Structure 1
Amino acid sequence: MELLQWLATQSSLVFLFVAVALGYFAGKLKVGNFVLGGIAGTLIVGVILGQVGVTIDTAVKDIFFALFIYAVGYQGGPQFFRALSLKSLNQLLSAAVMCLLGLFTVLAFAWGFELDRGTAAGLAAGGLTQSAIIGTAGETIQKLSVSTDLKSVMETNIAVGYAVCYIFGSIGPIIMITWFFPTIMRWDIRKEAIKLAEQMSGGATELEPGQFDAARRIDTRFYRLAIGTDWIGKSPQELDAAFEELALEAVLRAGQDLDLTQETRLHSGDIVAFTGLVSALETQPETFAAEVPAPDGYRLVLENRHIVLTNPEIADHRLQGLHHHVKSNALHDVFVTGVKRMGRDLPLLPNLQIHKGDELQLTGSPHDLGKVQASIGYPISAAAVTDFIFFGIGMTLGLLLGLIEFKLGGVPVSIGSGGGCLLSGLLFGWLRSTHPRYAALPTGAVNFLRDFGLAIFVGVVGISAGPQVLTTLQEQGVSLFLFGIGVTLIPQLIGFFFSYYILRIQNPIEALACVAGGRSANPGFAALMGKAGNATPVVTFTVTYAVANVLLTLWGPLIVGLVATNPSP
């Protein structure tokens, strides 16, 4: 023990990184389908390590929380602003109602049972599984006109409330989304997901888990032109244009590549290389050519290029109509092999509606991809370096917004640096999706800032609160856990039926995804994806999740302002 206390005085940051490492290790352990998660694990390990009496500069916590919340806003910016449009109004309202219900439920418990501000904020953070509330509420508490000791007690109560309520806050949505709602509505989630996928694919049969459609795979094969075929004497461009599902990549004569110009003419015995759907490769060329092995030592370079959609003329159209809106014939020779939204894979189906900010994976030759990308958006490779000018401006703007104060019930309240950086991140994320020359922040960098920033912040909170946690748990543990169950379940119950009967969100997969997204419930969403067996829930989840992330984060200052009770000194 003496060694640990000596280490705490010499290098307190050692404890912080140990908390992150052990917390994420504990967070990966599974009990049934439940996984604690790295953030909750870091908080709990931090509380344990904090018993030694470690002191860490609060500036560390503030800096990393600001980075985390800016990254959250930046990543969700394009989808958040799209959610404000009339086209997704019912999903926007569903998420907003769910978040408001969460706020009202927390306030009802706080007022009815005289919970102090810190405990109420912790109840919200854990019961609604929104870790960012810890930061935004903590910042507001620091601005209250109370003693330093009371502020410390309230911040400890936030950590305790979060730790006590988080476990059921994570389990509750899993139970409601995958068992309770489907049972009372008599839904079979897998069958409903298959049905929705068939609607989005124009009636094609959805596959079972583990199966795949080999005919939809993209491949490149070589064929030798038959003697006497009608294509002898015609140009490669004519051959390429004749087959919509195939792309002519190369023509070889005597082992050498030919220049594919209008003057070039095809000869008997030429070898042609086609890229396309396996189903087309196995049927269409057989009428004029015989498949042959690739020539020894021959290399045909194709590329998978990820392009972020920014062109407003393409946004909000169906995937199957993409060719009609791209101002380049080269798209005929390029294949869409993936679509992501907010980092999540979307179902690659013809009726999928693509949005600004979506990431399209295109497969084709570098030459054709170069022609196509300007008509769609910007390649992610172009954002490989962070634009630190706009990153600095964004963080500065966010911190300045956090200084704005207003009175709520006579209490000075502000959205704090957390809320300010969230709004700034939303703005700059949206700016990047519409003007790709500005505010570049690579996906890997965003994910690192978000995950590492929150882990460090929560680790500091847990370590700082450690010495007082056991006492608070003994006083409020059981009752706080029950309050957390109420905060977790009540908004879901009311919100689900409001969305189903009032907002008319009646497709089972979309209705359940609204619950997961509106609750910012990643574990519940993962469970829904597992039951669905496909990616159909992602489309609705991304809209509601983007809205909920913003609103729930802003509830921290509101709860501190609306709850007037302070803890006993």
Structure 2
Amino acid sequence: MNIIQNLFAISPYIALFITLALGYLIGKITIGRFVLGGVAGTLLMGVLIGQFGVQIDPGVKTIFFALFIYAVGYQGGPQFFGALNFKTINILLSAVVMTVTGLITVLVAAKLFSLDSGTAAGLAAGGLTQSAIIGTAGDAIAKLGGVTEEAKSLMQTNVAVGYAVTYIFGSLGPILMVSWLIPTFMKWDIREEALKLADEMSDGKPELAPGEFNAMTDLVSRAYKLSPESKLIGRDIQAVNADLLDVAIEMISRDGHSVEIDKSVRLQAGDILVVTGRRQAIAGHVESAHSEEVALPEGTVLIEENRQLVANDNQLIGKSLAQIKAETNLDTYRGIYVTDVIRGGHSQHITADFVVKKDDIIQLTGSAKDINRIEKNIGKRLVSVFSTDYVLFGLGMVAGLLIGLINFKIAGIPVTIGSGAGCLISGLFVGWLRSRKPNMGSLPLGASNFLRDFGLAVFVGVVGLQAGPQAIDMVKENGLTLLFLGVAVTIIPQIISFFISYYVLKIKNPIEALACVAGGRSANPGFAALLEKAGNATPVFAFTVTYAIANVLLTLWGPIIVGIISTQ
């Protein structure tokens, strides 16, 4: 045992990564419908391994939580600002219900079990997982009148005791509630409900799970043989392609041989045309050309490129796609066609009359040579979806940490926003900015998922390692009463708040209802577990709104608890 303890003292990060590995390993254990999950598993393993007295700089927890919450905000930014409406009022009220219920539960427990102000405040800080209560309650105790300095010191110590004993279940309880107990009771499949909500938020386009793909691809290539009656016979290929918007003739086979396409090539009866474009568009164009579909010649290879351009040429803004193609698609032989238009992060329905706005993303498909000829006439190429804009990423993190330093007073009580809330705000803004200005703030999905998942894993692991030793010692000293009170303070407000939110406030969407439970008590691990189960960013909006309110109100409860109990 001494060898392990010495090893962890020399390199505490070994303990951290062991915690992560074992935590996610036991998180895979399934009992019936219950799966513990990597977040809860890591927290529990952190408590156990923390018994070796692992000392890790608290700044590690802070920075990795900031990375986690920034990535969450970045991914949910476009949906968050798009979802702001009157429904937000009910979500705000849900947070108020949760925090007020938590306050009442703590006061009732203090009354029934004769807790002093310090222990009650610690119970609130740990059971409701709001560490800021420790500071605000400690300040309030220091200002109590008619109390000896020795008594004040004892009460301030009891704040830490109550927090240490109740914090572990305060963190674990919301994980179990939002990822297992409530969904099981309500018979909800979190992943299925998250996909439904994502489908609603993405205009009916389903979100694909890892490994899934849409077999009904929009872009197809089909071969047609021209009949003698076709109106295309005698026309040159460039003129024919100039009339097409979302399809193009990309290859001609004549007498069994591929014809090199240039301006002099004119179509003949019996030619086999390889037409590429959007599935629905091809059928309409070909039927009007009096041709019959034939099998593609065996071994046919057609290399094309999808290239996304950001519309920023002022001469094209406000014009239709048909006008843009007529003005830009000159001197192209095989033809360029439009396969997607993205505005505000959402694909648009393509028609000849569709009017392009500034910063729309126009996806062109065709040969690389032909796209090169017209690219400069439309706008800048969209930066690679695989590269990170470290400039805006760094500035976003700086902005979040600076926002977190902001503090103010409410009724004389100091309130600090905190780095978590600050980075969430900056992440939301940068994610939204990316959807509006596509060439700014790139953070690839793989990179943002890694920041989110790894940042969370390290945060939860450090929480467990730090809280473990103190919590076990305090349970031994104070018995199980305080621990059970912590369980009550953790569970009761969540149950009451959920039913009021669902049945009274009419927050009927399962993902939003669960996110309100996690956000209403600023339960970051609980929210992380919900994200893990959901598999997408759909819980972000409801959590963000309730999290902001809960951070302020729960911080205020420290002095209120001290004031009420000290006057009894």
TM-score by length of structure 1 reads 0.69
Map 1:76-225 → 2, pairs under 5 A: 76-84=76-84, 89-114=85-110, 116-124=120-128, 153=161, 154=163, 157-175=166-184, 177-178=186-187, 218-225=219-226
For the Cα contact (< 8 Å) 1:518–1:547, is it kept in 2?
yes
Task: Give the aligned partner of residue 459 of structure 1.
Answer: 461
- Identity across the alignment (%): 32
Structure 2 gaps, min length 5? 111-118, 143-151, 205-211, 314-318, 330-334, 351-356, 519-526
Q: Which amino acid counterpart does residue 485 of structure 1 have in structure 2?
A: I
Map 1:405-420 → 2, pairs under 5 A: 405-408=407-410, 410-420=412-422
Task: Give the aligned partner of residue 29 of structure 2.
Answer: 29
Looking at structure 2, the residues matched to 376 and 442 of structure 1 have their Cα atoms a distance apart, in angstroms, of 22
Looking at structure 2, the residues matched to 98 and 524 of structure 1 have their Cα atoms a distance apart, in angstroms, of 18
Looking at structure 2, the residues matched to 243 and 553 of structure 1 have their Cα atoms a distance apart, in angstroms, of 52
Looking at structure 2, the residues matched to 375 and 101 of structure 1 have their Cα atoms a distance apart, in angstroms, of 52
Task: Give the aligned partner of residue 304 of structure 2.
Answer: 301
Task: Give the aligned partner of residue 130 of structure 1.
Answer: none
Task: Give the aligned partner of residue 255 of structure 1.
Answer: 258
For the Cα contact (< 8 Å) 2:175–2:530, is it kept in 1?
no
Q: Which amino acid counterpart does residue 395 of structure 1 have in structure 2?
A: M
Task: Give the aligned partner of residue 535 of structure 1.
Answer: none
Task: Give the aligned partner of residue 515 of structure 1.
Answer: 513
Map 1:306-385 → 2, pairs under 5 A: 333-336=337-340, 364-365=365-366, 379=382, 381-382=383-384, 384-385=386-387
Task: Give the aligned partner of residue 551 of structure 1.
Answer: 546
For the Cα contact (< 8 Å) 2:433–2:440, is it kept in 1?
yes
Q: Which amino acid counterpart does residue 223 of structure 2 have in structure 1?
A: F
Q: Which amino acid counterpart does residue 105 of structure 1 have in structure 2?
A: T
1:292 and 2:295 matched: yes
Task: Give the aligned partner of residue 229 of structure 1.
Answer: 230
Looking at structure 1, the residues matched to 108 and 371 of structure 2 have their Cα atoms a distance apart, in angstroms, of 62
For the Cα contact (< 8 Å) 2:246–2:338, is it kept in 1?
no
Q: What are the superposed Cα offsets for residues 295-349 of structure 1, whole Å, 9 maximum, x if unpaired?
A: 536333344x6789999xxxxxxxxxx98799557899344599997xxxx9999
- The Cα shift of 1:487 comes to 2.7
> Structure 1 residues 347, 29: closer, same or farther in 2, change over 3 A?
farther
Task: Give the aligned partner of residue 204 of structure 1.
Answer: none
Map 1:41-56 → 2, pairs under 5 A: 41-56=41-56
Structure 1 gaps, min length 5? 126-132, 181-188, 202-210, 312-321, 351-355, 530-537
Task: Give the aligned partner of residue 391 of structure 1.
Answer: 393
Q: What number of residue pairs does the alignment pair up? A: 491
- The Cα shift of 1:138 comes to 7.9
For the Cα contact (< 8 Å) 2:46–2:461, is it kept in 1?
yes
- The Cα shift of 1:440 comes to 3.4
- The Cα shift of 1:97 comes to 2.8
Looking at structure 2, the residues matched to 310 and 101 of structure 1 have their Cα atoms a distance apart, in angstroms, of 48
Q: What are the superposed Cα offsets for residues 191-225 of structure 1, whole Å, 9 maximum, x if unpaired?
A: xx79x98xx77xxxxxxxxx999766543223333
Map 1:49-68 → 2, pairs under 5 A: 49-68=49-68
1:468 and 2:463 matched: no
> What secondary structure does 1:22 align onto?
helix
For the Cα contact (< 8 Å) 2:237–2:261, is it kept in 1?
no
Cα RMSD, aligned residues only: 4.9
Task: Give the aligned partner of residue 318 of structure 1.
Answer: none
> What secondary structure does 1:382 align onto?
coil
Q: What are the superposed Cα offsets for residues 363-387 of structure 1, whole Å, 9 maximum, x if unpaired?
A: 84365888799989974x5354333
Looking at structure 2, the residues matched to 325 and 476 of structure 1 have their Cα atoms a distance apart, in angstroms, of 72
For the Cα contact (< 8 Å) 2:245–2:322, is it kept in 1?
no
> Structure 1 residues 429, 527: closer, same or farther in 2, change over 3 A?
closer
Task: Give the aligned partner of residue 73 of structure 1.
Answer: 73
Q: Which amino acid counterpart does residue 98 of structure 2 have in structure 1?
A: G
Looking at structure 1, the residues matched to 260 and 139 of structure 2 have their Cα atoms a distance apart, in angstroms, of 72
Q: Which amino acid counterpart does residue 44 of structure 1 have in structure 2?
A: L
> Structure 1 residues 309, 284: closer, same or farther in 2, change over 3 A?
closer
Looking at structure 2, the residues matched to 177 and 255 of structure 1 have their Cα atoms a distance apart, in angstroms, of 62
> What secondary structure does 1:266 align onto?
coil
> What secondary structure does 1:563 align onto?
helix
Task: Give the aligned partner of residue 273 of structure 1.
Answer: 274
Looking at structure 1, the residues matched to 78 and 487 of structure 2 have their Cα atoms a distance apart, in angstroms, of 36
- The Cα shift of 1:396 comes to 2.6
For the Cα contact (< 8 Å) 2:188–2:510, is it kept in 1?
no
- The Cα shift of 1:43 comes to 0.9
> Structure 1 residues 301, 347: closer, same or farther in 2, change over 3 A?
closer
- The Cα shift of 1:50 comes to 0.7
Looking at structure 2, the residues matched to 522 and 237 of structure 1 have their Cα atoms a distance apart, in angstroms, of 55
Looking at structure 1, the residues matched to 381 and 35 of structure 2 have their Cα atoms a distance apart, in angstroms, of 37
For the Cα contact (< 8 Å) 2:74–2:427, is it kept in 1?
yes
- The Cα shift of 1:24 comes to 1.8
Task: Give the aligned partner of residue 209 of structure 2.
Answer: none
Structure with higher Rg: it is 2
Looking at structure 1, the residues matched to 58 and 83 of structure 2 have their Cα atoms a distance apart, in angstroms, of 36
Task: Give the aligned partner of residue 497 of structure 1.
Answer: 503
Q: What are the superposed Cα offsets for residues 472-521 of structure 1, whole Å, 9 maximum, x if unpaired?
A: 49334444434433333322322233454xxxx8xxxx744542454466
> Structure 1 residues 177, 139: closer, same or farther in 2, change over 3 A?
farther
For the Cα contact (< 8 Å) 2:94–2:505, is it kept in 1?
no
Task: Give the aligned partner of residue 557 of structure 2.
Answer: 562
- The Cα shift of 1:15 comes to 0.7
TM-score by length of structure 2 reads 0.69
Looking at structure 2, the residues matched to 59 and 74 of structure 1 have their Cα atoms a distance apart, in angstroms, of 22
- The Cα shift of 1:65 comes to 2.0
- The Cα shift of 1:558 comes to 3.5
For the Cα contact (< 8 Å) 1:223–1:272, is it kept in 2?
yes
